[in-house]
Amino acid sequence: MDDIINSFNIWGNSLMASGMCAGLYAEYRKDENTISDILAGHMKVRIHFAPYTPAEYIQAIEEFDVTAFENAMVAKEE
């Protein structure tokens, strides 16, 4: 079970690192898995998942940056 949980968490970490979700990990709880369930091949794993919600709208406010313009002009003169 440790290998399954570790593999899932490695995959979840790669999704988080690439910005595909805010969080994702798996957890195995002994109290939720009785010996008889495990012997029957029935195991329970909790998946904690936090996907990014879609944006309804994004408002972009533009401002003219005089300092950036001045710095660009000075750099071209040198």
* pLDDT by 10s per residue, the chain, length 78: 899 999 999 999 999 999 999 999 999 999 999 999 999 999 999 999 999 988 888 899 999 999 999 999 887 776
Question: Alpha carbon of 64 to those of 58, 68, 69, 73: distances in Å?
Answer: 19, 9, 9, 15
Question: Are 15 and 47 a contacting pair, CB within 8 Å?
Answer: no
Whole-prediction pTM = 0.62
Q: What is the pLDDT of residue 49?
A: 96
Q: What is the pLDDT of residue 6?
A: 96
Whole-angstrom Cα distance, residue 30 to residue 7? 18
The CA-to-CA distance between both ends of the chain, in Å, stands at: 64
Beta bridge partners of 25: 48
